[in-house]
C-alpha cells in the first residue's frame, strides 16, 4: 500500500549540504535491537536520484527491518534517515510515515478487494478529480491494464494484480520507493517479464528505489548498485558486475555461486 506524499516535510527541516545535490535517500548508522541483539547493526546506505539500489542478503539478515524503519513503521534505536538531505527520522525527531513521500510495495501486495482497479490506483492521490483520473489512466495504460479500470481485483491474474499494485504505488510520485521481495509471490514463468517491465517503468518515472531481495539473480538484473548484507551489516557495496566479479569474502562467493 502507499504511504502518502506531502511536500510540507521539506519546508520544516534543514538541508545538510546545500552546495551539493544530496542523495535521494540516505540512512546513517541505523541500529535496531531486538531483545538486546542488533538485527540491524550500524547500517549506512545512500541512493542517488533515479537509481535502483538492491539490498541483497540471505533470509533473516535484517533487510525487512531496515525497510520498515525507513518507511516509518518501526523505529531505530540509533541512527538517522534523510530524504533529499532533509532529516525525516532520528531518535528524537520523527516525520510520520504518511508524510515521508515514500511508496511501498511488499511481498503480499494485496490490492483493496472492495475497490475497483481504478480506485485502487487513485487511493493515494488527492486534488481535483480530473487530475487524478488523468494520472490513473496514464499509469493503467502504461502497464497495459486500462481496460480493467472498472473491474475488481479478484477478476485479475496474479501478474496483473502485481502491475496494478505497482501503478498504485507510483501514482503519487513518491520520492523513494521501497520494495520488499515484490516478485517472490509470482510463478517463475512470469517473474522475469514482470521484473523487466517494472524496472522499465521505474526508470521512466525516474523513481529512486530501494529493492530488498535474497536472490542474487534479481539484484544483478535490476540494480544500479548492490549493498550486500549479512548478519545485520552491509559487507560490500558496488556495481553489480564488480560485486559479482570480486566478492568481498568467502561467504559472498558462496552466496553468488547460485547464479549461472
Ligand atoms: P530479512 O528481511 O532479511 O529476512 P528481517 O529483517 O525480517 O530479515 O529479520 C531480521 C532478524 O530480526 C531475524 O532474526 C528476525 O527473526 C528478527 N526480528 C524481526 N522482527 C522482529 C521482532 N518484531 N521481534 C523480534 N525479532 C525480530
Ligand atoms: Mg524480509
Output the residue whose Cα is nearest ligand 1's atom 6.
62
DSSP letter for 251, please.
H
DSSP letters, 197-231, are HHHHHHHHHT-EEEEEES-HHHHHHH-SEEEEEET
Mind listing the pLDDT tens digit for each residue in 202-254? 999 999 999 999 999 999 999 999 999 999 999 999 999 999 899 888 888 88
Mind listing the pLDDT tens digit for each residue in 17-46? 556 789 999 999 999 999 999 999 999 999
Output the CA 178–ligand 1 centroid distance in Å. 17
All 3 cell numbers of residue 195?
521484473
pLDDT at 19: 67
Residue 220 Cβ contacting ligand 1 at under 6 Å: no
Distance from C-alpha of 202 to C-alpha of 44, rounded to nearest angstrom? 24
Q: pTM for the complete prediction?
A: 0.89
SS3 call for 23: coil
Mind listing the pLDDT tens digit for each residue in 103-141? 999 876 689 999 999 999 999 899 999 999 999 999 999
Mind listing the pLDDT tens digit for each residue in 42-90? 999 999 999 999 999 999 999 999 999 999 999 999 999 999 999 999 9
Question: Residue 230: how many CA atoms within 13 Å on its side-chain side?
Answer: 12
Residue 53 Cβ contacting ligand 1 at under 6 Å: no
Residue 65 Cβ contacting ligand 1 at under 6 Å: yes
Amino acid at each position: 500500500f502507499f504511504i502518502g506524499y506531502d511536500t510540507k516535510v521539506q519546508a520544516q527541516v534543514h538541508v545538510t549540504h546545500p552546495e551539493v545535490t544530496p542523495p535521494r535517500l540516505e540512512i546513517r548508522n541505523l541500529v535496531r535491537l531486538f531483545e538486546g541483539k542488533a538485527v540491524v547493526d550500524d547500517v549506512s546506505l545512500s541512493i542517488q536520484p533515479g537509481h535502483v539500489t538492491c539490498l541483497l542478503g540471505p533470509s533473516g539478515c535484517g533487510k525487512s527491518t531496515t525497510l520498515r524503519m525507513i518507511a516509518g513503521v518501526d523505529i531505530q534505536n540509533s541512527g538517522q534517515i534523510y530524504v533529499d538531505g532533509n532529516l525525516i527520522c532520528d531518535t528524537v525527531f520523527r516525520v510520520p510515515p504518511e508524510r515521508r513521500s515514500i511508496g511501498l510495495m511488499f511481498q503480499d501486495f494485496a490490492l483493496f478487494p472492495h475497490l475497483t482497479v481504478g480506485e485502487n490506483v487513485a487511493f493515494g492521490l488527492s486534488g481535483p478529480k480530473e487530475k487524478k483520473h488523468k494520472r490513473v489512466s496514464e499509469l493503467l495504460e502504461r502497464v497495459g491494464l486500462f481496460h480493467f479500470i472498472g473491474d475488481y481485483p479478484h477478476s485479475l491474474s496474479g501478474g496483473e494484480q502485481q502491475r496494478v499494485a505497482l501503478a498504485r504505488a507510483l501514482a503519487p510520485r513518491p520520492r523513494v520507493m521501497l520494495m520488499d521481495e515484490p516478485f517472490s509471490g509470482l510463478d517463475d514463468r512470469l517473474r522475469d517479464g514482470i521484473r523487466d517491465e517494472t524496472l522499465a517503468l521505474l526508470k521512466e518515472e525516474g523513481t529512486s528505489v530501494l529493492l530488498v531481495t535474497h536472490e542474487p539473480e534479481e539484484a544483478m538484473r535490476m540494480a544500479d548498485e548492490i549493498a550486500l548484507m549479512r548478519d545485520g551489516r552491509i559487507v560490500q557495496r558496488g556495481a553489480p558486475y564488480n560485486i559479482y566479479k570480486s566478492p568481498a569474502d568467502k561467504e559472498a562467493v558462496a552466496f553468488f555461486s547460485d547464479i549461472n
